[in-house]
Structure 1
Amino acid sequence: MNVKEIREKSNEELLKDIDSLKEELFNLRFQQATGQLENPSRMKDIKKTIARIKTIITERTLSDAK
Structure 2
Amino acid sequence: MKNSEIKGLSLDELKGKLVAEKENYAKLKFAHAITPIENPMRLKEAKKLVARLSTEIRAKQIAQQ
In the superposition, the TM-score normalised over structure 1's length comes to 0.87
Amino acid at match of 1:58: R
Residue 21, structure 1, aligned to residue 60, structure 2? no
Output the amino acid matched with 1:61.
Answer: Q
| Counterpart-to-counterpart distance in 2, 1:38 and 1:7 | 31
The correspondence of residues 1-66 of structure 1 with structure 2, limited to 5 A, is 1-65=1-65
Structure 1 runs of 4+ aligned residues shifted over 3 Å read none
Once residues 24 and 38 of structure 1 are traced to their aligned partners in structure 2, the CA distance between those partners, rounded to angstroms, is 16
Output the TM-score relative to the length of structure 2: 0.88
- Quote the Cα distance in structure 2 between the aligned partners of 1:31 and 1:37: 7
Structure 2 gaps, min length 5: none
Shift of 1:43: 0.9
CA distance in 2, matches of 1:30, 1:58: 28
Cα deviation for residue 20 of structure 1 reads 1.0
- Per-residue deviation at 1:36? 4.1
**Aligned counterparts of 1:7 and 1:24: Cα–Cα separation in 2:** 21
